[in-house]
Amino acid sequence: MQISEFSIDKAYNTNRSSAARWIASHIRRNIVPFGGIFIGAISNAALAAVVPWCIGVAFNAVVLNDSPDYTTVGWAAAALLGSQLIRACLQFLRNFSAEVVGQRLERDMRDEFYGELVGKSMTFHDLNPVGDTMARATNDVREINLLANPGLNLVIGSFMFLIMPIIFSLRIHPLLMILPAVFTVLYILALVRYLRSLAPLAERARSNFGQLNARLAEAIDGIEIVKGTAQEPNEMALFRANATAYRDAVVGQSMVEARYIPLLMFGIANAVGFWSVTRLYQLGEVQIGAIPDYMLLLGLFGFPVFVSLFAYSQVALGVAGAKRILELINKETELDQNTDGHDAEIQGAITFENVSFGYVPEVQVLKEINLNIQPGETVAIVGQTGTGKTTLVKLVNRIYDASNGRILVDGVDVRDWNMASLRQQVSIIEQDIFLFSRSIADNIAFGNPNATPEMIQDAAKKAQAHDFISGFKDGYETVIGERGVTLSGGQRQRIALARAFLVKPRILILDDSTSAIDSATEDQIQRAIREASQGQTTLLITHRLSQIRWADKIVVLRHGQIVAAGSHDDLIKTSAAYGRIFQRFEGEA
């Protein structure tokens, strides 16, 4: 069974072994409306075949008698009208059922896909471009909706139109059944060949669209860098290249569609059919009305021939989209939610035992880390850029899992903790703050949605954010832009601190989280952190000397290894590496 960091409560129990089986398992969950498609399709085709019969009967009533038999013509017209009214109602049932199936497929598949995405590990998200993932979650899922309606709706309907000419031509003359039967066999063979040619092109088109979307998302997300380095022309050229590749894929698909053989077969079938029925009329085997009757029956083939050109293409795109979605869903994650794991209030003891870690197996970012942190201690982690400071703290709440060794929280391996319980008691505030496009109050209460306004304001006051929030027109209900772009760096960091203060974590990790705050405000926040951290374990990654000095323990990292640990005074005397870092930080202060 596939393990997951997080699993949604709503289990779909779908078959994920292939795209077709996955789609089929979702359709089975909507078997009643899907049955409505079949009922509507069969009745639509059968009642469409009534039209040639009525016209044939009326034709005979007028032509074969010395004087036209208008009574028979009237009955034929009444039968035609009645059958088509019933057909219209049943066709509405078919189209409505197809729309219900399509919308439910899109809803359920998007729900299932989103549940899987949030359950994947950070390693998974690090390795998959956001733009391509978004393309799969939006456009590819939409293609599956269109696969059901109009795709499968028209495919099922067109298949019924293949059967009816075979059945209804038997009542005219047994020999006239041969042509529709041969046409149907050749049509199916040509369709199989068409789909085999179309499938890889549809997959290529979906893949190129994902690449196009990924590049667009990167350019927009990094627009400040693009503009700051005057790279707009280069980015436009790259985007144009991706857009051209997507266009070429779609054009290639259209070329296959343009060579659609059944169109030629339909014309030949009409010619052969006309010769056959007129020859039988000359031999006296059928009446004159059989000619329009049979030709109109053959005309029913026009629906599957012309519609399937679009419908099967839509099905191919939907299946290609499903393959792309399943590709991400089926990717394994090494992190397990461990719902039956250890669940208790954290006291704050953290132990690293021979811990090594690498984002890729070939490159170790951390090497044989051994460290003991006592409950309530404040530990500053310092080192040059790229030494693995941020990576180290992200192992505590299992954003990543150690490649070797183990991390213990209160003496229990973090792998044995219930992941939700562990993460709810560990807060990480990073320098690159992420805020949602919601109100300030919602952002502060993100980790505790049941927080009262008073609790939110108290947390904001501790983070020195209350004054600037109150200065906004809508106060705490002010809606901020994505990633907090309507706020300054210092304001974003203070809101993030307020968010951490509100959940009252047992372990607080500050990853250079006050870098954008002025010294006076930082002093106030530090006092608030000290007050809030009574009995709370705090890990600091910072270059601020004021924060380093008040730490109980300082850990020095170099090339992914701990080279020194101790108090500030001890390290100044004993560690040359810390001395160099301290001098650099002192120069920056």
The domain locations on the chain are 19-329, 350-588
CA–CA separation, 213 vs 474, rounded Å? 35
How many CB atoms neighbour CB 289 within 10 A? 22
For residue 363, what are the β-bridge partners?
360
pLDDT of the residue at 54: 93
Longest dimension (CA), the chain: 125
pLDDT in tens, 233-264: 888 888 888 889 889 988 887 887 777 788 88
Strand partners, 413: 408
The answer to whether residues 191 and 262 touch, using CB atoms and an 8 Å cutoff, is yes
Between CA 162 and CA 161, with CA 51 as vertex, the angle to 5 degrees is 10
| Alpha helices by DSSP H, 344-488 | 389-394, 419-424, 440-444, 453-462, 466-470
Q: Answer yes or no: are the C-beta atoms of 507 and 539 closer than 8 Å.
A: yes
CA angle 209, 212, 216 (to 5 degrees): 140
Asked if residues 408 and 351 have their Cβ atoms less than 8 Å apart, the reply is yes
pLDDT at 584: 64
Q: What is the pLDDT of residue 532?
A: 62
Q: Which residue is associated with the tokens 């974003």?
A: 492
- Cα–Cα nearest to 265, from 195, 187, 185: 187
DSSP H or E stretch at residue 555: strand 553-558
What is the DSSP code (8-state) at residue 359?
Answer: S
Query: Token digits for 583?
Result: 């001098």
Strand pairing of 553-558 and 561-566?
A: antiparallel
Residue-level pLDDT at 1 = 41
Q: What would you report as the CA-atom Rg of the chain, rounded to the nearest whole angstrom?
A: 35
Residue 142, both tokens: 């939409």
The token duo for 36 is 């409505």
Over residues 499-558, the pLDDT tens digits come to 888 888 889 888 876 665 666 666 666 766 666 666 789 998 877 777 787 788 999 998
- pTM score, two decimals? 0.69
How many Å apart are CA 129 and CA 111, to the nearest integer? 20
Beta-sheet strands, E only, within 396-460 = 404-409, 412-413, 426-430
Strand-pair partners of 383: 557
Are 542 and 571 in contact, with CB atoms under 8 Å apart? Answer: no
351 strand-pairing partners: 372, 408
Contact 508, 425 (CB under 8 A): no
Q: What are the C-alpha distances in Å from 16 to residues 7, 145, 148, 330?
A: 16, 18, 18, 8
Query: What does the pLDDT read at residue 495?
Result: 87
Token pair listed for 470? 């109150």
- Edge-to-edge strand order for the sheet containing 350-357? 366-373, 350-357, 404-409, 412-413
The CA distance from 506 to 500, in Å, is 10
Cα separation of 137 and 127, whole Å?
Answer: 16
Chain segment 45-71, per-residue pLDDT in tens? 999 999 999 999 998 898 887 788 889
Q: What is the DSSP string of 482-507?
A: GGGTTS-HHHHHHHHHHHHHHH--SE
Q: Determine the 3-state secondary structure of 336 from DSSP.
A: coil
Three-class SS state of 352: strand
Instruction: Find out whether 437 and 481 touch, Cβ atoms under 8 Å.
Output: yes
CA distance 317 to 200: 10
d(CA 540, CA 554): 9
DSSP reduced 3-state for 360:
strand
Closest CA to 158 of 342, 367, 307, 58: 307
Q: Where are the alpha helices (DSSP H) in 64-148?
A: 70-119, 122-127, 130-135, 141-146
Question: What local confidence, expressed as pLDDT, does residue 586 receive?
Answer: 55
Contact predicate 360/339, CB 8 Å: no
Structure tokens that stand for 44 in this block:
């639509």
Question: CA 352, 358, 364: angle at the middle one, nearest 5?
Answer: 90
Burial of 389 (0-12, 13-18, 19+ CB in 10 A): buried
Q: Which of 538, 527, 509 is nearest to 374 (CA)?
A: 538
Burial (CB count within 10 angstroms: exposed 0-12, middle 13-18, buried 19+), residue 573 = exposed
DSSP H stretches of helix in 229-289? 232-258, 262-282
pLDDT at 282: 93
Residue by residue, pLDDT tens for the chain (589 residues) are 444 555 555 557 888 889 999 999 999 999 999 999 999 999 999 999 999 999 999 988 988 877 888 899 999 999 999 999 999 999 999 999 999 999 999 999 998 888 888 877 777 777 777 788 888 888 889 999 999 999 999 999 999 999 999 999 999 999 999 999 999 999 999 888 888 887 888 888 888 888 888 788 777 777 777 777 777 888 888 888 888 988 998 888 788 777 778 888 999 999 999 999 999 999 999 999 999 999 999 999 999 988 877 888 888 889 988 999 998 888 876 667 777 889 999 999 999 999 999 887 788 999 999 999 999 898 999 888 888 998 999 999 888 888 899 999 999 999 999 888 898 889 888 777 778 888 999 999 988 888 999 999 998 988 888 988 999 888 999 988 755 557 877 788 888 888 888 888 889 888 876 665 666 666 666 766 666 666 789 998 877 777 787 788 999 998 899 999 988 888 888 888 788 777 765 545 4
* CATH class given for the domain over 19-329: mainly alpha
Domain spanning 350-588: which CATH class is it, in words?
Answer: alpha beta
E strands along 318-459, which residues? 350-357, 366-373, 378-383, 404-409, 412-413, 426-430
User: For residue 521, what pLDDT is reported?
Assistant: 64
**What is the model's pLDDT at position 2?**
47
For helices 31-63 and 19-28, what crossing angle results, to 10°? 90
- Cα of first residue to Cα of last residue in the chain, in angstroms, is 53
